[in-house]
Amino acid sequence: MSLNDLDDEVAALLDDADQRYTSSRRRLISALQAGDGPLTITQIVATDASLPQSTVYRNLTILEEAGVVTRIVTSDDFARYELAEKLTGHHHHLICTACGDVVDFSLDAAVEATLDKALDGAAVSAGFTADSHRLDLLGTCRDCAKA
C-alpha cells in the first residue's frame, strides 16, 4: 500500500467513525508507518516531540476504535501500537524478552493456510467464534544476543 493509499484509507476509516483526520493524527500515522514494528508511547513521543503525551494516548485510542491501529501488549509494562493489518497486511512479531523490542515478520501463504485450517477446527470444537489469530516468536534479538 503506497503512502497516498494509506492516507486515503485512514481518512475513510476515520470518516466512518465520525472522526476528523487532524494533524496530530497524521503525525501519529506517520510515526507508526516509519517503524519496523509496533511502537511504545515513549518511542512515539521521542520520534515526534511535537506530540504531547496526553494527545498521543487519546488519539491512539480513537484510532484503535476506528480500526486504524492495533494495540499490542507483550510482557513488559508498555503497550505498543501499529497500523492495523487491514492496512499493512497480516503478519507476526518477533518479541525480544531481553529488551522488549518487537519487529514484524511474515510466514508464507501455505503455512498460514495450514494454520488457519487447524485453528478453525480447534475453534469449532470449543464453540468459539474466531476473529483472528496472533502468533509471536519469543526470544532474543540480534543486539541483545551480542551484548
Our finding on whether 69 is near DNA (CB under 7 A) is: no
Separation of alpha carbons 92 and 30, rounded Å: 21
Separation of alpha carbons 77 and 56, rounded Å: 17
CA-based nearest residue to 93, from 147, 36, 145, 44:
36
Separation of alpha carbons 135 and 141, rounded Å: 17
Per CB under 8 A, the segment of 13-21, 25-33, 46-54, 88-96 that binds its own copies is 88-96
Our finding on whether 141 is near its own copies (CB under 8 A) is: yes
Our finding on whether 82 is near Mn ion (CB under 5 A) is: yes
**Please, which residues have CB within 8 angstroms of residue 83's CB and are 6 or more apart in sequence?**
6, 29, 32, 33, 68, 69, 70
Q: Which residue has the cell 476528523?
A: 20
Our finding on whether 126 is near its own copies (CB under 8 A) is: yes
Our finding on whether 79 is near DNA (CB under 7 A) is: yes
Per CB under 8 A, the segment of 5-13, 47-55, 82-90, 121-129 that binds its own copies is 121-129
| Residue of 4, 50, 131, 147 interacting with its own copies (CB under 8 A) | 131
Separation of alpha carbons 66 and 3, rounded Å: 19
Our finding on whether 131 is near DNA (CB under 7 A) is: no
Query: Per-residue contact track with DNA, 28 to 57, x per CB under 7 A?
Result: ------------xx---------xxxxx-x
| Residue of 18, 49, 142, 147 interacting with its own copies (CB under 8 A) | 142
Per CB under 8 A, the segment of 10-18, 25-33, 48-56, 109-117 that binds its own copies is 109-117
User: Which amino acid is located at 133 in the chain?
Assistant: H
